Amino acid sequence: MGQLAFFVNSDICIGCKCCEAACKDIKDLPLGPRPRFVRDFVGGEWKVDVTDPTLYRQEGVFIYHVSVSCNHCANPACVAICPVGSMTKDPETGIVSNDLEACIGCGSCYDTCPYKAPQILESDMKAYKCDFCKDLLEADEKPACVATCPMRALDYGEHSDLMAANGDACDVAPLPSSEETGPSLVLKLHREAKMDKSDGYSTSLYVSDR
């Protein structure tokens, strides 16, 4: 098996956050950390109608959603910076995992990850993140987020296969540049997709205030 990756079809994602809930449920996490979260990106403006100053008209208004989790990067920043070596990348599947017994909850992984994928649970000071639902994969089941998505906007598979079927897009605002860590991610871009954050503004935060 080669490097596993997620496919996110942003063009049909409705931002319902079922993937967030499924991920938290499978990991039995309380309020707070979300190893998968949905970023909303919106833009455009309202302008005064030139014929009637009491009216406003939409101009360039858009919104789209991008479901984000650990991208099991080719060069995972979390693995490189973890002071105790609890973050590791499987050489066969490419899955990046965190050993909770070894984790000291220092937050270095969160601080250095451009996607802010590892989430610190302050009650036990451990970093929780997507592990591709390895237990489900071993049982020939889909990751919880993929299985739950009502729009079928999420899928998974070997990175090379997903790129062959869907192209190699992995950059879109408001995500960071793929050049930073080489994410194992394939996107189908929304019809209003923007490549630059200056073309709109994000209304959702990265989940944590850390």
Contact between 119 and 152 under an 8 Å Cβ cutoff? The reply is no
CA dihedral 184, 190, 191, 193 (to 10 degrees): -80
Query: Residue 77: which domain range?
Result: 4-202
- Residues found in the chain: 210
Contact between 81 and 98 under an 8 Å Cβ cutoff? The reply is no
3-state secondary structure string across 117-147:
CCEEECCCCEEECCCCCHHHHHCCCCCHHHH
First vs last C-alpha separation in the chain: 36
Give residue-wise pLDDT tens across range 92-132.
Answer: 999 999 999 999 999 999 999 999 999 999 999 999 999 99
Residue 133 is part of a domain; what is its CATH number?
3.30.70.20
Number of domains in the chain: 1
Mean pLDDT of 134-163: 98
Give residue-wise pLDDT tens across range 61-82.
Answer: 899 999 999 999 999 999 999 9
84 in a domain, yes or no? yes
In a 3-state reduction of DSSP, which class is residue 180? coil
Q: What is the DSSP string of 55-99?
A: -EEEEEEEEEEEEE-----SS-HHHHH-TTS-EEE-TTT--EEE-
pLDDT score, position 201: 58
